[in-house]
Amino acid sequence: MFALFENPRLRGGIHAEEHKTETSSLPIATDFPLPKKLYIPVQQHVGKPAEPLVMVGDKVLKGQLLAYSQGTISAPVHAPTSGTIVDVKDFPAPHPSALPIRTVVLESDGLEQWAELNVVEDPFQLDPEEICLRVGAAGVVGLGGAVFPSAVKLSLGRKNKIHTLLINAGECEPYLTCDDRLMQERAAEIVAGIRLMLRGMDAPKALVGIEDNKPEAFAAMREATRNLPNIVVSQVPTRYPMGWDRQMLRYLTGQEIPADGRATDIGVVVHNVATAYAVYKAVCLGQPLISRVVTVSGAALAKPQNVEVPIGTLMSEVLAYCGLDKAKMARLVMGGPMMGDALPIAEVPVVKACNGILALSHADIEEPEVQPCIRCSSCVTACPVGLLPLEMASRIKVNQLDAAVDLGLKDCISCGSCSYVCPSNIPLVHYFKFASGELVKRQQAEHKAEQTKRLIEDRNHRMERIRLEAEAEAQRAAEARAARLAAQQQAQQAKAEGTEKTAPGVAAEETA
């Protein structure tokens, strides 16, 4: 079922059942029928949501800008095909909650008519700043799951004097093979994207890490980089979670990212292999990110395969294309089975972060009965972060969240390795996710309390200032009244004194 490994550059991890053979040998399906309607969320990335600039009734062309980015950490979205904007509304998101998010609804006209593309003659002669601008304008984000705006990382890399670009091609999650097939079929384009990334960051070299269960992809990438000594393609052990950037970086470079730091702190920037392909399309072809390759797999499907899907396509349509048997499907998952999200409905759109759609059967998700812990320490051995999962779970059970934090709860990446290897079937990662949610709620409550306290203090200061100003005004008014009264009294006294001085003269005149 699983295996544990010993390697001085690796920590923890498991070898889960792969379930990759169903799709890894099949070419990417590029004949997916164009949907009648596409639902394009304006929030498909880390940061602020894009702001729609189209209105209902507008005619748009394929690749045309639908919503522009807001601020530095944001990304625009574009039309995956030509057609008419029929609505801008809230629509269920591809999230376990399925809560609605702002979505542009595009009705396709079937013409696939492109907007004018800005293509340069020699993209490898562009200035680094221009490369970053083109990547940002194309809406390219991290396609490995982080969906961080790629242009920001490229610009950040140049500012931080990055010496190594690490291309993560681990794809360690079971079932997922979209990156594998992308490397097998489009290695030259991926390498072109890597070269553009290096130029955009002004970095001297790149490392590409590919798990050793992908020999065809490794061979294709090695061939594509044969005359490029500054791009080194290496194999890494097949072990989950090798796709975790810290694990990949530690193995390939021997360096460790600080606990509270980032890869840039040690001169490295990490991008996904699919992101490199998107960068190639953005800079060399002038095409924005409007589609992506998705692994569609699971026992409930008749034709599991990798499919190139327009962004905004409903997952239900993708599943139908791959022969879904609804009676067999017990769970729908976006992403991989270890760290993906279980979705309540299939009527949600494919977004930039979607690298997999899994239709799992009851046999796939069968959960055995939880047994008491036997203190075997398998969870400790499997943890890639070097934590003590059982001890953290014990603290969380008795609501000692601070004690769990002291044991490293915030460093947990929720990879599920500990739960996978536990012979007692204890859902350890569920405890950690619960505790993380409780910590977030606590922080929000503390933040709200601090805000309330600050508002009360501000109000008290304001009322005190008003009181003091009123008292000062009253004091000034009293002083003004006293001054006027004194002036009046002085005037009356002066008048009286003047009268007394003139009275004897008047009497003398009367006597005469």
480 φ, ψ (degrees, to nearest 5): -65, -45
Residue 60 three-state SS? strand
**DSSP label at residue 301:** B
Shortest CA distance to 420 belongs to which of 222, 251, 172?
Answer: 172
- C-alpha distances in angstroms, 425 versus 17, 74, 176, 428? 16, 41, 24, 9
State both tokens at 409: 């709860």
Say which residues have a Cβ less than 8 Å from residue 343's Cβ, sequence separation at least 6.
Answer: 94, 95, 96, 98, 315, 332, 333, 334
Is 422 labelled as part of a ligand binding site?
yes
- CB-CB contact of 322 with 263 (8 Å): no
Is 418 labelled as part of a ligand binding site?
yes
Helices and strands: H and E segment counts in the chain: 13, 16
Is 412 labelled as part of a ligand binding site?
yes
Is 373 labelled as part of a ligand binding site?
yes
Shortest CA distance to 208 belongs to which of 221, 198, 197?
Answer: 221
- C-alpha distances in angstroms, 294 versus 176, 297, 319, 374, 417? 8, 10, 11, 40, 24
Question: Residue 187: how many CA atoms within 13 Å on its side-chain side?
Answer: 18
Alpha carbon distance 387, 409 (integer Å): 8
Helices (H), 143-272: 150-159, 178-201, 215-224, 245-253
Extract the annotated binding site for [4Fe-4S] cluster: 373, 376, 379, 383, 412, 415, 418, 422
Extract the annotated binding site: 373, 376, 379, 383, 412, 415, 418, 422
